[in-house]
C-alpha cells in the first residue's frame, strides 16, 4: 500500500506481536474495509425483483401495522402532539438498525471463517464492514421519515442535528453487544437461535410501537435498564422536538451501558480473534 | 539495498503449539451443557457437608481431568532458516509435517508460540485461489474484491485489470455472476488475479492442484517469469514434486514439525523426502500364534529397481517379499495381496490361484515368496497393503489387514510441469497417440 514510497518495510512476527500494531493495521487495511462493505451492500439486493425498494417497504409496512394496531385500535397515546405514525417511525429507525446490525455483527465471525483462515487482516474489519449495509438501510428509511413529516406537516427542530450522535450511540450498542455475541457464538452455536428470538421479543420490550409515557412511573427505573429505551428516547427527542417524552434516567443509564458494552465487546473480540482460527 | 543476497525472511526458533481437546470427556458444546455443568460444580461448592479436604480433592480431580483432556501438540518446533531476495524455495514434507502451519504463520493468520520471524518487504499469501469470491458478484466485481483481499490497492487492480482478464480468458463473461461460470473459468479467473499480485514475497500453498494441466503450466510459467524479472521471492508448498522442482531452486524439508534438512538445493531435499516416505515398509511377527495352522511371518515392500530403497516414483516396479510358516500339512495354499487407498477403497487384488501358480507349504522352514508388480502405474499418494493366507481357495488361514504401506511420488512421469489430480484417476498411463486421419 505504501509500497512505492518505501519498499523496505519490515514485519516482525513474534508471540503477541500483532497486539502492538493492531490499530495501525486497522487504518492500513481501510481499503479492504471499504470493499468488504461494498460487497455486502452489492450482494444484499441482487436477484431481488424490487431491489433496494425492500429497504423502504419493510420499515414502512411495520410502521403502518404498528400505527393501526397500537395507535388506532388499542388507542394508545402518542407523545405530545406528534402524529402516532411519526412517533413510531422515529423509534423504528434505531430499532431496525439495531436488529439488523446485531444479527450481522454476531454472525460475522462464524460467516468469515473461510476468509479468516486464508488471509490476514485485522478481524475487527469484518463485523465493522457488515454494519455498513445496515447504515445504508438506515439512510434509505430516513427518506420515509422525511416523506411522513412532509405529509403530516410536522416540522423538525434544531434537535434533528443531534441525530448523528444518537446514531453513534445505537451503532456502539449494536457493535458492542454483537461482538460479545460473535465471540460466544464460536463456542455456543445456540446463540444462532437465541439472537433472532431475542430481537423479536426485544421489539415489544422496547418502546418501538408505543410511547414510554405509558409505562407507569414506578416501573420506569426497571424499564430503563434496557439500553434501547434510552436510545429510542434519544431518537424521539431529536426527531419529535418538544413533544417527546424524555426520561433523563434511562438516557444516561443507556449511554453508560453502551460505553461499557462497546469497550467490553472490542476487548473480548480482540482476545478471541488471536486464537480463533486455531480452535474453530 | 535491493540486491541479490539480502536476507528477506529470517526465521529463528519458530514454534507453534496447539492444544488438542479430547472429545471423549465432557466438552461443553452447547450452552445448556455448560450451564448444567457449572450448576453441578456450584452445587458441590455450596454443599455445607463438603469438607475442605474434599474440596481440595475435587479441585485436584478437575485439574487432572483437564490435563487428560488437553494434550499439547507442537505443529512446528525450533524451525530456523533464512531466505534471500529472489530465491524460490519449495517447502516439502508429508501431511502433518507442519508445512501449512509454517505458511499460516508467515502469512499472519496465526501467531507463533515461540520464536521470531523477520520479513523485509510486502508479503502476499495465496493459501487458496479465489479467497472471498462471491458467487452473486460478476467477474469484474470479483476481480476487485479478490484483489483487495489479497492486498492490492484499487489503483493497482485498475492498472492490471485488462491483463488479468486476458490471462483468465473470460472477457465475454466479465459481467456475468461467477456462480454461472464453469469450474474451469472460475479457477482461471481466481488464479489470474493471484498471478498478477506483485509483492516482494509471495507465499503459495497447494493452489496448483486445481485447474487443468495446461492452465497449471501457464501459471507456473507466469510465476517463474515474474520471479525472474522482479527478483520476487517465492515460497511454494506442493505435493507435486515435479512442479516444485521445476519452479524452485532451493528446498526445505519438514518432518513432524521440525526442520529435517536445512535449506539445500531443491533436488537434495526432494531425494531426502523420497527416502523418508517409506512408511512402515516392513512387517514382521516373531511369536508363533498357536491357534493358526499357517501365518505370515514377514512382509517387505521395496522398489525392485533398488532393493534398499522403499520409495517409488510413478511407474517404478513394486516388489513384495513375503514369508510364511505352516504348522501342519496344508493341501493348497493361497497368498493374496490387496492394495488399497488409506481411505479404504481397494485398488487391486491378486492371488496365486488366479495366476495358476502353486506355492510351497514346507512346515520345517520359512516359505519365501517374491512378487513383482511392474505394470501398475499407481497415482502419487499413499497405499496400504493387506495380506492373506487361504487354504483350498476358501478356508482363511491368516489375514493381516493393512500391515504394510508405501507411498508413490510424482517425479516427472509426464512432461515437466504436468500431472494429473487425484480426481482424474488412480492409475496413470502413457498411451500412444497415432494420427489415423489423412
Residue B373 belongs to a domain with what CATH number?
2.70.50.60
CB-CB under 8 Å, A12 with B148 = no
**B142 and B242 part of one domain:** yes
For the domain that residue B127 is a member of, what is the CATH number?
A: 3.40.50.300
Domain identity same for B272 and B361: no
A31 with B153: Cβ contact below 8 A: yes
A–B interface: beta-carbon pairs under 8 A: 113
ipTM: 0.81
Given a cut of 70, the residues of chain B with pLDDT beneath it are 1-5, 21-34, 37-56, 58, 66-69, 95, 206-217, 220, 227, 239-242, 274-282, 285-290, 307-310, 342-344, 416-417
pLDDT of residue B25: 44
Distance (Å, rounded) from C-alpha B162 to C-alpha B176?
17
Q: Which three cell numbers stand for residue A206?
A: 422496547
Q: Which residues of chain A make contact with B115, given a CB cutoff of 8 A?
A: 14
B26 domain-assigned:
no
Are residue B349 and residue B207 in the same domain, yes or no?
Answer: no
Nearest to A179 by CA among A263, A86, A84: A263
Nearest CA in chain B to A32: B148
Contact at CB, A119 and B131, closer than 8 angstroms: yes
CA distances for A262 relative to A252, A256, A259, angstroms: 16, 10, 5
HEC letters along B71-108: EEEEEEEEEEEEEECCCEEEEECCCCCCHHHHHHHHCC
Chain A: closest CA distance from residue B210 (Å): 16
| Chain B residues closer than 8 Å to A187 by CB | 28-29
Domain positions in chain A are 29-279
Q: Are residues B147 and B227 in the same domain?
A: yes
If asked whether residues B306 and B163 sit together in one domain, one would say no
Statement to judge: residues B183 and B295 lie in one domain: no
Are B9 and B82 contacting, i.e. CB atoms less than 8 angstroms apart? Answer: yes
- Domain identity same for B160 and B81: yes
A 133-162: CB under 8 A from B:
none
* Residues of chain A contacting residue B137, judged by C-beta atoms under 8 Å apart: 39, 42-43, 46
A11–B119 C-beta distance less than 8 A = yes
Calpha distance A208→A231 (Å, rounded): 11
For the CA atoms of A119, A121, A123, A127, the dihedral, rounded to the nearest 10 degrees, stands at: -100
Looking at the whole model, is its pTM more than 0.90? no
- B187 inside domain: yes
Residue of A nearest to B125 (CA): A119
Q: How many domains does chain B have?
A: 2
In terms of Cβ atoms closer than 10 Å to its own Cβ (0-12, 13-18, 19+), residue A167 is buried
From its phi and psi, is residue B417 left (phi > 0), alpha (psi between -120 and 50) or beta? left
In a shared domain, residues B171 and B187: yes
Range of the domain at B338: 282-409
Give the whole-angstrom CA distance, residue B208 versus residue B376: 26
**DSSP-based helix, strand, coil % in chain A, nearest 5:** 75, 0, 25
* Cross-chain Cβ contact A118/B116 below 8 Å: no
Same domain? B96 vs B236: yes
CA distance A131 to A258: 17
Q: Are A266 and A179 in contact (CB under 8 A)?
A: yes
Q: How far apart are CA B397 and CA B333, in angstroms?
A: 9
Write b or e for each residue in B61-83: b if 16 or more Cβ atoms lie within 10 A of its Cβ, otherwise e: eeeeeeeebeeeebbbbebebeb
Across the interface, which of A32, A116, A188 has its CB nearest the CB of B148?
Answer: A32
pLDDT score recorded for residue A101: 94
Q: With an 8 Å Cβ cutoff, is A20 touching chain B?
A: no
B352, B332 Cβ separation under 8 angstroms: no
Helix axes A84-111, A125-151, angle to 10 degrees: 170
User: E strand or H helix at A213, and its extent?
Assistant: none
Measured from the Cβ of residue B289, the count of other Cβ atoms closer than 10 Å reads 12
Question: Using an 8 Å Cβ cutoff, are A13 and B111 in contact?
Answer: yes
* H, E, C per residue of A125-147: HHHHHHHHHHHHHHHHHHHHHHH
Look at residues A52, A53, A32, A33 and name the one whose alpha carbon lies nearest to residue A44: A52
* Listed residues B276, B295, B327: the one ending a domain: B276
Low-confidence stretches of chain A (pLDDT < 70) are 1-8, 17-20, 47-49, 51, 280
> CB–CB of B121 and A8 under 8 A?
yes
Q: What are phi and psi of B32, to 5 degrees?
A: -65, -45
For residue B49, tell me if it sits in a domain.
Answer: no
Residues B342 and B404 in one domain: yes
**Residue B252 falls within a domain, yes or no?**
yes
| Residue in chain A nearest B12 by alpha carbon | A14
Q: Is residue B296 part of a domain?
A: yes
Q: Are residues B271 and B255 in the same domain?
A: yes
A242 touches chain B (CB under 8 A): no
DSSP conformation class of B22:
P
Identify the pLDDT of residue B369. 93
Query: In sequence order, what E strands does chain A have?
Result: 10-13
Domain assignment present for B25: no
Is B363 found in the same domain as B311? yes
Which pLDDT does position B239 carry in this prediction?
A: 66
The last residue of one of the domains, among B222, B251, B276, is: B276
- B273 and B238 Cβ atoms separated by less than 8 Å: no
pLDDT at A127: 93
Amino acid at each position: 500500500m505504501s509500497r512505492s514510497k518505501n519498499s523496505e518495510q519490515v514485519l516482525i512476527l513474534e508471540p503477541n506481536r500483532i497486539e502492538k500494531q493492531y490499530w495501525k493495521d486497522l487504518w492500513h487495511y481501510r481499503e479492504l474495509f471499504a470493499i468488504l462493505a461494498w460487497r455486502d451492500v452489492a450482494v444484499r439486493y441482487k436477484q431481488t425483483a424490487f431491489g433496494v425498494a425492500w429497504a423502504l417497504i419493510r420499515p414502512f409496512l411495520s410502521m403502518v401495522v404498528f400505527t393501526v394496531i397500537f395507535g388506532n385500535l388499542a388507542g394508545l397515546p402518542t407523545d405530545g402532539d406528534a402524529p402516532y405514525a411519526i412517533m413510531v417511525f422515529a423509534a423504528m429507525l434505531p430499532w431496525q438498525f439495531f436488529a439488523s446490525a446485531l444479527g450481522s455483527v454476531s454472525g460475522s465471525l462464524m460467516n468469515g471463517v473461510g476468509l479468516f483462515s486464508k488471509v490476514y487482516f485485522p478481524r475487527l474489519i469484518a463485523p465493522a464492514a457488515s454494519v455498513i449495509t445496515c447504515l445504508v438501510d438506515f439512510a434509505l428509511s430516513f427518506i420515509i421519515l422525511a416523506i411522513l413529516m412532509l405529509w403530516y406537516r410536522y416540522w423538525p427542530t434544531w434537535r434533528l442535528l443531534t441525530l448523528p450522535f444518537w446514531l453513534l450511540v445505537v451503532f456502539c450498542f449494536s457493535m458492542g453487544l454483537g461482538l460479545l455475541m460473535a465471540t460466544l457464538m464460536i463456542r455456543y452455536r445456540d446463540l444462532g437461535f437465541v439472537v433472532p428470538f431475542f430481537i423479536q421479543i426485544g421489539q415489544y420490550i422496547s418502546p418501538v410501537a408505543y410511547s414510554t409515557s405509558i409505562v407507569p412511573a414506578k416501573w420506569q427505573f426497571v424499564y430503563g435498564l434496557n439500553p434501547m429505551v434510552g436510545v429510542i428516547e434519544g431518537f424521539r427527542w431529536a426527531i419529535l422536538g418538544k413533544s417527546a417524552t424524555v426520561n433523563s434516567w434511562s438516557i444516561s443509564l443507556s449511554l453508560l451501558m453502551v460505553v461499557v458494552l462497546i469497550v467490553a465487546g472490542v476487548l473480548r473480540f480482540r482476545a478471541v480473534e488471536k486464537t480463533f482460527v486455531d480452535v474453530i | 539495498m535491493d540486491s541479490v543476497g539480502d536476507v528477506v525472511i529470517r526465521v529463528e526458533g519458530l514454534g507453534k503449539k496447539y492444544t488438542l481437546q479430547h472429545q471423549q470427556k465432557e466438552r461443553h458444546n452447547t450452552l445448556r451443557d455448560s450451564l448444567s455443568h457449572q450448576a453441578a460444580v456450584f452445587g458441590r461448592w455450596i454443599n455445607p457437608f463438603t469438607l475442605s479436604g474434599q474440596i481440595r480433592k475435587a479441585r485436584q480431580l478437575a485439574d487432572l481431568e483437564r490435563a487428560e483432556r488437553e494434550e499439547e501438540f507442537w505443529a512446528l518446533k525450533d524451525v530456523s532458516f533464512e531466505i534471500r531476495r529472489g530465491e524460490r524455495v519449495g517447502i516439502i514434507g508429508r501431511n502433518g509435517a507442519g508445512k501449512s502451519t509454517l505458511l499460516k504463520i508467515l502469512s499472519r493468520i496465526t501467531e507463533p508460540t515461540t520464536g521470531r520471524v523477520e520479513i523485509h518487504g510486502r508479503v502476499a499469501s495465496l493459501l487458496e485461489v479465489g479467497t472471498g469470491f462471491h458467487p452473486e458478484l460478476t467477474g469484474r466485481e470479483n476481480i476487485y474484491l479478490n484483489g483487495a483481499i489479497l492486498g492490492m490497492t484499487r489503483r493497482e487492480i485498475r492498472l492490471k485489470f485488462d491483463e488479468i482478464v486476458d490471462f483468465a480468458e473470460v472477457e465475454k463473461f466479465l459481467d456475468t455472476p461467477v456462480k454461472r461460470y464453469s469450474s474451469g473459468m472460475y479457477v482461471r479467473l481466481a488464479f489470474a488475479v493471484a498471478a498478477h499480485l506483485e509483492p516482494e514475497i509471495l507465499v503459495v500453498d497447494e493452489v496448483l492442484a486445481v485447474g487443468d494441466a495446461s492452465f497449471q503450466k501457464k501459471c507456473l510459467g507466469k510465476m517463474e517469469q515474474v520471479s525472474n524479472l522482479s527478483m520476487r521471492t517465492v515460497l511454494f508448498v506442493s505435493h507435486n514434486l515435479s512442479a516444485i522442482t521445476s519452479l524452485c531452486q532451493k528446498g526445505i524439508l519438514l518432518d513432524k514439525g521440525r526442520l529435517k534438512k536445512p535449506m539445500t538445493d531443491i533436488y537434495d531435499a526432494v531425494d531426502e523426502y523420497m527416502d523418508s516416505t517409506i512408511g512402515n515398509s516392513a512387517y514382521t511377527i516373531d511369536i508363533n500364534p498357536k491357534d493358526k495352522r499357517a501365518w505370515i511371518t514377514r512382509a517387505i515392500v521395496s522398489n525392485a529397481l533398488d532393493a534398499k530403497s522403499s520409495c517409488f516414483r510413478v511407474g517404478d516396479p513394486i516388489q513384495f517379499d513375503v514369508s510364511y510358516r505352516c504348522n501342519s500339512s496344508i493341501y493348497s495354499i493361497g497368498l493374496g495381496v490387496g492394495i488399497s487407498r488409506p481411505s479404504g477403497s481397494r485398488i487391486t487384488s491378486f492371488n496365486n490361484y488366479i495366476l495358476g501358480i502353486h506355492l510351497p507349504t514346507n512346515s520345517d522352514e520359512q516359505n519365501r515368496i517374491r512378487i513383482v508388480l511392474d505394470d501398475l502405474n499407481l497415482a502419487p499418494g499413499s497405499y496400504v497393503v493387506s495380506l492373506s493366507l487361504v487354504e483350498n481357495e476358501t478356508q482363511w488361514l491368516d489375514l493381516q489387514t493393512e500391515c504394510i504401506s508405501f507411498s508413490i511420488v510424482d517425479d516427472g512421469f509426464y512432461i515437466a510441469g504436468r500431472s494429473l489430480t487425484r480426481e482424474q484417476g488412480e492409475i496413470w498411463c502413457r498411451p500412444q497417440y497415432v494420427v489415423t486421419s489423412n
